[in-house]
Amino acid sequence: MASGTQTSAEYIQHHLTNLTYGQLPDGTWGLAHSAQEAKDMGFWAINVDSMAWAIGLGVLFCWSFGRVARNATAGVPDGMQNFVEMIVEFIEEITSNIFPYRNSMIAPMAFTIFVWVFLMNLMDLIPVDWIPLLAGASGVHFMKIVPTTDPNVTLGMALAVFVLILYFSVRQKGLGGFLGELAFHPFPKVLAPANLFLEGVTLLAKPISLGLRLFGNMYAGEMIFVLIAIMFSSGVVTFIGGSVLQWGWALFHVLIITLQAFIFSVLTVVYMAQAYDVEEEH
């Protein structure tokens, strides 16, 4: 919460600044001690907190779900096994309806994306001051715990999906077929330059919209939590109002974080299906 020694603007900026590692003004490499210093580090800087939380949650996902798979029984499943099987069956059904082709990688990929993005989004429900305060007590200047509020993470995931789109498009249609699809659709061949422009923009818009949609929704949700937290230090009335708003927004945000994970997963499957489509099927 914003205190008397910290303005609301400083409080917001602090909570929206990543723990960044990069080249300092003196030429050495280390962690940034201010938002401006982090900004000045440029392109090669690394948001350590986003990377650590994203990788850590990915490891947690692999360990916990792998443990369920190793201990799975054929009889009546326990709570965790039943929960995992429910998610697997749900994603598998959605994938089979969207992706009519044979590829054993698509359903597991959609399942992994859904759970991993959901876990990263779920960190948004932890009160905004808890972990940053613990980090500050241990000498860490900044700590953002929601990886999907970092565009580097969401666009990085979208870029991986884009690479898969290109790979499967070329594998299914050949390089000539893929380029021909871009140049000769939707208008006649004589308008190939216009086709290339329109189809190129459409192709590039897929990863950009995929990454920015997730980032925008999660960043806005985090900002609302930060603004609500400011209310706790403004008096008894605003403290009570902030408490009500925090619980109300948290309950609503459960739907948002689940929906955003689902959208990212489903759109990935849709893009994979489009990569398999041939020109005659458009």
Question: Considering the domain boundaries, does residue 3 fall inside one?
Answer: no
Which pLDDT belongs to residue 7?
87
Mean pLDDT of 169-174: 93
What is the gyration radius of the CA atoms in the chain, in angstroms? 23
Question: Considering the domain boundaries, does residue 55 fall inside one?
Answer: yes
Position 242 pLDDT exceeds 70 = yes
Domain that holds residue 211: 8-281
Mean pLDDT of 191-201: 88
Question: Considering the domain boundaries, does residue 186 fall inside one?
Answer: yes
Average pLDDT, the chain: 90
Question: Considering the domain boundaries, does residue 165 fall inside one?
Answer: yes
**CA separation for the pair 147, 267 (Å, rounded):** 20
| Among 60, 58, 68, 103, residue whose Cα is nearest residue 88 | 68
Active-site residues: which are they? 209, 213, 217
Which pLDDT belongs to residue 100?
93
The tokens of 264 are what? 């990212």
CB atoms within 10 A of CB 218: 26
DSSP letters, 223-268, are HHHHHHHHGGGS-HHHHHHHHHHHHHHHHHHHHHHHHHHHHHHHHH
Question: Considering the domain boundaries, does residue 47 fall inside one?
Answer: yes
Question: When comparing pLDDT for 81 and 164, which is higher?
Answer: 164
Which pLDDT belongs to residue 2?
55
CA-based end-to-end distance of the chain:
54
Position 1 pLDDT exceeds 60 = no
pLDDT band per the 50, 70, 90 thresholds, residue 281: very low
Question: When comparing pLDDT for 235 and 228, which is higher?
Answer: 228
Strands in 46-47's sheet, in edge-to-edge order, are 29-31, 20-23, 46-47
Position 3 pLDDT exceeds 60 = no
Question: Considering the domain boundaries, does residue 82 fall inside one?
Answer: yes
Per-residue pLDDT tens for 96-152? 999 999 999 999 999 999 999 999 999 999 999 899 888 888 889 899 999 999 999
| Among 13, 24, 20, 16, residue whose Cα is nearest residue 52 | 20
Question: Considering the domain boundaries, does residue 2 fall inside one?
Answer: no
Question: When comparing pLDDT for 42 and 280, which is higher?
Answer: 42
Position 71 pLDDT exceeds 90 = no
Domain tally for the chain?
1
Identify residue 225 by its one-letter amino acid code. Answer: F
Which pLDDT belongs to residue 150?
97
Question: Considering the domain boundaries, does residue 253 fall inside one?
Answer: yes
Per-residue pLDDT tens for 17-31? 999 999 998 889 999
Which pLDDT belongs to residue 282?
42
